Amino acid sequence: MKKVCLLFLVLLCSVFNSAKADDIKIHAIVFCNTNDEKIEESCKNDQERFAEELGLIETAIGCEEDWQVFIGDDCSKSNLERVISNLNCSPNDAVFFYYSGHGVHAEADSEDGWLPQMCLKYKSYDQDKFVPVTYVRDRLLTKGARLNIILTDCCNNEANWVTVKSVISQQKDAPNVDAVDIAKLKKLFFESKGTVIATSSKRGQVSYGPKEGGCFSVAFWDEMYKIEQGAGVADWKTLIEATAKRTFQYTNNKQEPAYQIDVNNVVNNNINNNNNINNNNIVVISAGEKELGEAFKQIVNPNYSRNERWNMISGIVGRLFDSNALVLMVGRDLKTNVGRPVNINKYLEELALSKKVKGINIVRTQKSNTGKFNQIVISEIRETRYE
């Protein structure tokens, strides 16, 4: 069954300001429709991959981070309007907005005619709750951030006929930043200005979103992975052109992205381009479980001593976890188990003392009938060179 869907990337940059890397914050705002049985697996995979890859980038380049993730029932118009309205940015910040779910295009739409409306968690009879992408774009432009990225995967089709051969999905080991080309990532996120607008398919075409995730989203992160590994060109025009070519390949030449690019690279001598992580704050991402994410941030907060972090563990476990709760570690593909399951107490004790863990993506969670967590799945982002 095919349903019309739109997918687009909007990258809008204001005038570049001189900044040090540790003065820059990336605000990640994520909305994913994980309730709809037709697309929930695809959207969940999109959300998990986005968190994993952007989390790795934030960890590698050492900037501050701010995550707000809305899935399931929280993927709503009221939450979207609220989070954008309350967003506070400095002139050196970047905003990365991501949406995965159903999308629709009004035939009579003439202004910004290639941009869709996001259906969020709503059905066709709830059109008053759909949110145009132009709303997000226009509101973000008033926030004063240096860089605004809007990436939406609006696939609403069941396209299991195609199997996405993702490069990243083959990475089964635990992710680490040792081999990441940090200078290239900083060139993309710290040393670019201009506008990039890309849509996953030309108007009138179908965009595909198999269970592995939206084909355009998968292609984008595969191309970003090449840049991380030093093989790709750290240039937005080249990145989007390569993403479009890979999307065309992934969909058996049935989906042809369209895009407009106006980006300039700038040289800023105030940016710290050494390849060492210069931010002691560990990136923690927890989709839909705010209290859990805050607890993990406490355990890894460098402002507390190791003894203070150690002493927090019993209270966190008693409040949030069953006593026999397990932590499962997965690799960068977010599926392959890395090591054996560990009891939550032991895991938090090791985490409180660790020097090599630089990022934590709480990928999935499970609760018992007590309402507490009895299992969590985690992908750790590591830096091993100092061990």
- Tens-level pLDDT at each residue, the chain (387 residues): 233 344 444 444 443 444 455 578 899 999 999 999 888 999 999 999 999 999 999 999 888 889 999 999 999 999 999 999 999 999 888 889 999 988 877 766 665 677 778 899 998 788 889 988 888 888 988 998 888 888 888 743 333 334 565 778 778 888 888 889 999 999 888 887 766 777 787 766 777 888 888 898 999 999 999 999 999 899 888 998 999 999 898 988 888 887 877 777 765 544 554 545 555 678 899 988 889 999 999 998 888 888 898 999 999 999 999 989 999 999 999 999 988 999 999 999 999 888 888 889 999 999 999 999 999 999 998 876 544
Sign of the Cα torsion 373, 374, 380, 386 reads positive
Say which residue the tokens 């993990």 belong to: 296
The DSSP letter of residue 332 is T
Nearest to 200 by CA among 141, 240, 256, 116: 256
| pTM for this predicted structure | 0.82
Annotate 117-170 with DSSP letters as a single string: EEEET--GGGGGG-EEHHHHHHHHHTTT-SEEEEEEEE--S--TT-----SGGG
Structure tokens at 13: 């940059």
